[in-house]
A = this chain, B = another copy of it.
Amino acid sequence: MIEKLAIIGVGLIGGSVAMALKEEGVVKEVVGCGRGKANLEKAQARGVIDHFTHDVGEAVKGADMVLLAVPLGAMRDTLHAMRGELADNAVVTDAGSVKSSVVDDVKAVFQKMPDFFVPGHPIAGTERSGVEAAFAELYRNRRVILTPLPETSADALNRVDKMWRQCGAEVTHMSVDHHDEVLAATSHLPHMLAFTLVDSLARMKENDEIFRFAAGGFRDFTRIASSNPVMWRDICVANQKSLNGMLTRFANELHELAALLQSGDEEGLLEVFERAKQARDRYVDGINLEQY
């Protein structure tokens, strides 16, 4: 049982954790913390949180579990604000999309990696954001990755692991670097491609005509280009190293494809497309991935 859960950043991600844990009856008290009063009032009215404060230090006082669900760019300031205010038995975890930058922020603020901090990342979300989009089932059958460090205590890891499983998630542990590589490949790179494609077409002459003739496939392909630009700028900067490697790798493979095309290598083209279709059908459609 979590005695007091502090949710720093009560949006889709943080709000859904609170709702899931309340529904399971495994949390006694939830305090929300954020900057926007209207959003926090909405969260309270919906019963997502029991009460709220705009002060991070105030929010974490007496909390045995603290979830940082703020943008990556706000992580360091938030950590600063809770320093010295945490309870002795507090465990702190986060939900950021990049783990190395969060670990850097934690080390910078606490001057070392504290044993109570468990870096985490729920692979879940929708295009919608804000507490009005939150729902208790968001994490059901979704994956959550935890990236404990050698300094992380077994107790802290177990408590965070348990919290996510109580939300219905499947929890996996991996290293910080491995997480950032995997996410660069499956999430950050695709977002860069979608943003770049839409921006590229938007800057072409007669762009409205071009978009007018886009079919359903284009809509699906570019859906992720409607994501929050500030959040994605933060993710790019935070995962710059892994993402750069992926971008370079991908650009090289595009050049190889262009070479196949220019040399009229029909066999070579077919091989790429067949391998891709097989992998997509096998790994993506074969995996239980509902619409988010």
Residues of A within 8 A of B (CB): 123-126, 143, 145, 172, 182-183, 185-187, 189-204, 207-230, 232-233, 236-237, 240, 243-244, 247-251, 253-255, 257-258, 261-262, 264, 266, 269-270, 272-281, 283-285, 287, 289-292
Docked-complex contact A279 and B198, CB < 8 angstroms: yes
From known contacts A250-B200, A283-B208, infer whether A182 and B276 are also in contact, taking CB-CB under 8 Å.
no
Q: How far is the CB of A192 from chain B (nearest CB, A)?
A: 6
Q: Out of B210, B211, B228, B283, which one reaches A207, CB within 8 Å? A: B283
Contacts of A190 on B, CB cut-off 8 Å?
197, 217-218, 221-222
Contact among B172, B211, B247, B253 with A196 in the assembled complex (CB-CB below 8 Å): B253
Q: Is the CB of B258 within 8 A of A213?
A: no
One of B143, B182, B212 near A287 (C-beta < 8 A): B212
Q: Determine the distance from Cα of A220 to Cα of B280 in the docked complex, in whole angstroms.
A: 11
B276 and A225 form a contact (CB under 8 A): yes
Whether B232 lies near A273 (C-beta < 8 A) is yes
Note all chain B residues with C-beta closer than 8 A to A285: 226
Q: Does A186 lie within 8 Å of B201, measured CB to CB?
A: yes
Looking at A198, A275, A289, which has the most chain B CB atoms within 10 Å of its CB?
A198
- Please measure, in the bound complex, the distance between the C-alpha atom of A263 and the C-alpha atom of B162, giving whole angstroms: 40
Do A193 and B191 touch (CB < 8 A)? no
A-B contact pairs, 8 of them (CB 8 A): A183-B213, A186-B211, A195-B272, A200-B253, A219-B284, A222-B284, A251-B258, A254-B254
The answer on a CB contact under 8 Å between B261 and A243 is yes
* Interface contact B284-A264, CB-CB below 8 Å: no
How close is A128's CB to chain B, nearest CB, in angstroms?
Answer: 12
Contacts of A291 in B (CB 8 A): 216
